[in-house]
Amino acid sequence: MTYSSAEYCDPPVPPETEPNSDTALLVNITVTLRVTDNNDPAQFDTDTVNVVVAVPPHPPVADAGGPYTCTEDIPCALDGSGSFDIDPTDSITSYEWDLDNDGEYDDATGATPAIVFPDPTGVPLNIGLRVFDDAVLNDVDEDGVQDPKERLSDTDFTIVTVLPNNPPVSAHGGPYTVNEGSSVTLSTAAAPAIRTATRSSPTSGTSTTTAPSATRLARW
């Protein structure tokens, strides 16, 4: 079996679209591979792959994640880890968040910060993420040092809705009708927390029933 056409493009790349150091635009090239066996006559097959050619430097790509639904006063995890940089050897070095929509990315840092929103928003709140790369391939002054001014950045935006932190809802079931001395099943399916019920009887005194699960059999 022989392999060929590893170096030709189908269709050929027009000269004006060939990547060069004067442009940072991406160029898409379709490369075709043809394999031929040793039959007589020879049989062959082809396959294609799309190759993206880019000349660095490129800014990183920010991804703020979301949309998010959070609860007031409960830490809510934001996730900007989907951000990336296509340049080899480049990486994202900082994540900065704008959580109050004032245009300043000074409210949180890191790829996955846990944020406590103190008040329900009622409506979706716009938040933004700004990321910077390490400027390894953007040494503009050619001094071998990655200066802060040479770092490239990108921003992305999403929304967060903050819901009120409501108290639990007690559901005692009932009303119940039971004869004295008989059993009755109390239902607390809508209120999973442990509840204690006290009932006074003129003949048997006071009975206390604890219901740690959805239902409880009580006898009075």
For residue 104, is it within any domain?
A: yes
**CATH number of the domain that residue 133 is part of:** 2.60.40.10
Q: Which two tokens stand for residue 123?
A: 């409506």
Domain count, the chain: 3
More confident: 136 or 1:
136
For residue 146, is it within any domain?
A: yes
Q: Are residues 175 and 117 in the same domain?
A: no
Q: Are residues 84 and 153 in the same domain?
A: yes
Q: Which two tokens stand for residue 84?
A: 């990336």
Q: Are residues 6 and 87 in the same domain?
A: no
Q: Which two tokens stand for residue 86?
A: 């296509």
Question: For the residues of 4-72, what is the DSSP string, one character each?
Answer: E-TT-BSSPPPGGGS--TT----EEEEEEEEEE-S-SS--EEEEEEEEEE-PSP---B------EEEET
For residue 58, is it within any domain?
A: no
Q: Are residues 181 and 151 in the same domain?
A: no
Q: Are residues 45 and 101 in the same domain?
A: no
Contact between 220 and 204 under an 8 Å Cβ cutoff? The reply is yes
How many residues appear in the chain?
220
pTM score above 0.85: no
Domain end residue (candidates: 146, 163, 180):
163
For residue 59, is it within any domain?
A: no
At 114-133, the pLDDT tens digits run 999 988 877 899 999 999 99
pLDDT of residue 3: 54
pLDDT of residue 60: 94
pLDDT of residue 206: 39
Q: Which two tokens stand for residue 73?
A: 């006063």
At 148-181, the pLDDT tens digits run 888 999 999 999 999 998 888 887 777 888 888 8
What residue numbers bound the domain in which 203 lies? 167-220
**Residues 6, 46: Cα–Cα separation, whole Å:** 11
